[in-house]
């Protein structure tokens, strides 16, 4: 907890050297060293409760909806009939909460390596833990790569809601994982993974999209604005065995839209539009 000084938590990391985001702490709610990582939850003065893994902010109650809605509804609304969904990571439950908003979905499996994250969310992040309470959800505690090796042609959508590629999530940014993802997809399936920031990790994104283009017919990159992530934005790589993910292919029912705080049809489309420096580099 040495990252809290004078009442402020600072997200200093070698993965984004020389700059950081800080939040004023009202109260530390939970701190443990799990088998895999350091888990911290604190109540902040202006961003609600905050989940931190190995010193990196994973979710704040004030802005998590941007990330959770966009990583979920972009692939879900890009698939004509998503019935079986897998979430790798996502132990806070926020992505589950979004997936079950789709009536077409028949089952959602969550594969999280660290049960400590799930418990921290269940105890301190009430807006996200609701995801675990839905009857369509099945939990699996274990390694995402191991889990994936046994699954062939099963899932219409696989969302990888991981932390950064330093620590337990490193393998989730490498080619062997994407080869397993491809095999685990049902025909026409779509993969959507947390894929870092255009401003901070363009080389990581270029590498990731490079090997994905050798594996999948459609590889696209979308991003969203979120104040509590480094650089204020975060992106997603979308790899599809069906069509492009740049536009919703199903109507967004009004009772579903009314539950959204960030996502809508127009922002789905706009999220794929890259600034010129990224377009030049990524060639997507």
> Residues with catalytic annotation?
161
DSSP 275: P
**Cβ proximity to a copy of itself, 70 vs 237, nearer residue:** 70
DSSP 93: S
Among 1, 28, 253, 279, binds a copy of itself (CB under 8 A): 279
Neighbours of 188 (CB within 10 A): 14
47 binds a copy of itself (CB under 8 A): yes
Query: Cα–Cα distance between 12 and 31 in angstroms, integer?
Result: 18
2 binds a copy of itself (CB under 8 A): no
Binding letters toward a copy of itself, positions 184-203, x by CB under 8 A: -------------xxxx---
Q: Which stretch binds a copy of itself (CB under 8 A): 86-94, 148-156, 182-190, 263-271?
A: 263-271
Site for a copy of itself in 73-112 (CB under 8 A): none
Among 226, 238, 239, 245, binds a copy of itself (CB under 8 A): 226
Query: Cα–Cα distance between 67 and 172 in angstroms, integer?
Result: 18
Structure tokens belonging to residue 114: 């660290």
Among 204, 269, 282, 284, binds a copy of itself (CB under 8 A): 269
- Is the distance from CB of 114 to CB of 34 less than 8 angstroms? yes
Binding letters toward a copy of itself, positions 24-43, x by CB under 8 A: x-------------------
* Phi and psi angles of residue 38, each rounded to the nearest 5 degrees, phi first: -85, 125
For the sheet containing 218-225, what is the strand order?
A: 137-141, 107-112, 84-89, 155-161, 185-194, 233-240, 218-225
182 binds a copy of itself (CB under 8 A): no
204 binds a copy of itself (CB under 8 A): no
Q: Which stretch binds a copy of itself (CB under 8 A): 105-113, 151-159, 212-220, 230-238?
A: 230-238
- Is the distance from CB of 229 to CB of 11 less than 8 angstroms? no
Among 2, 33, 35, 46, binds a copy of itself (CB under 8 A): 46
Residue in 51, 152, 39 with CA at minimum distance from that of residue 93: 51
254 binds a copy of itself (CB under 8 A): no
- Is the distance from CB of 222 to CB of 236 less than 8 angstroms? yes
Query: Cα–Cα distance between 89 and 144 in angstroms, integer?
Result: 8
Query: Cα–Cα distance between 186 and 178 in angstroms, integer?
Result: 14
15 binds a copy of itself (CB under 8 A): no
Query: Cα–Cα distance between 28 and 208 in angstroms, integer?
Result: 36
44 binds a copy of itself (CB under 8 A): yes
**Cβ proximity to a copy of itself, 7 vs 187, nearer residue:** 7
- Binding residues for a copy of itself, rule: CB under 8 A, are 8, 10, 17-24, 44-47, 63, 66, 197-200, 223, 225-233, 257, 260-264, 266-267, 269-270, 273-277, 279
């Amino acid at each position: 907890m040495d990252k809290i000084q004078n009442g402020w938590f600072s997200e200093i990391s070698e993965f984004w050297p020389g700059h950081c985001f800080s939040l004023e702490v009202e109260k530390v709610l939970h701190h443990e060293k799990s088998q895999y990582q350091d888990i911290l939850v604190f109540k902040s003065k202006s961003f609600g409760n905050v989940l931190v893994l190995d010193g990196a902010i994973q979710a704040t109650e004030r802005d998590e909806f941007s990330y959770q809605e966009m990583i979920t509804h972009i692939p879900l609304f890009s698939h004509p009939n998503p019935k079986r969904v897998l979430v790798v990571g996502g132990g806070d439950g926020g992505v589950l909460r979004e997936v079950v908003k789709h009536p077409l979905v028949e089952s959602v499996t969550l594969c999280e390596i660290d049960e400590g994250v799930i418990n921290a969310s269940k105890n301190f992040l009430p807006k996200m833990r609701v995801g675990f309470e839905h009857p369509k959800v099945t939990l699996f505690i274990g390694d995402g790569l191991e889990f994936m090796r046994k699954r062939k042609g099963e899932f219409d959508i696989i969302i990888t809601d991981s932390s950064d590629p330093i620590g337990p999530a490193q393998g989730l940014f490498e080619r062997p994982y994407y080869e397993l993802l491809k095999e685990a997809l049902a025909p026409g399936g779509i993969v959507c993974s947390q894929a870092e920031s255009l401003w901070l990790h363009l080389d990581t994104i270029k590498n990731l999209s490079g090997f994905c283009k050798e594996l999948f017919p459609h590889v696209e990159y979308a991003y969203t604005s979120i104040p509590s992530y480094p650089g204020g934005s975060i992106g997603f790589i979308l790899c599809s065995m069906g069509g492009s993910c740049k536009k919703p292919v199903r109507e967004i029912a009004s009772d579903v839209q009314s539950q959204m705080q960030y996502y809508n049809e127009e922002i789905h489309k706009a999220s794929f539009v890259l600034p010129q420096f990224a377009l030049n580099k990524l060639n997507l």
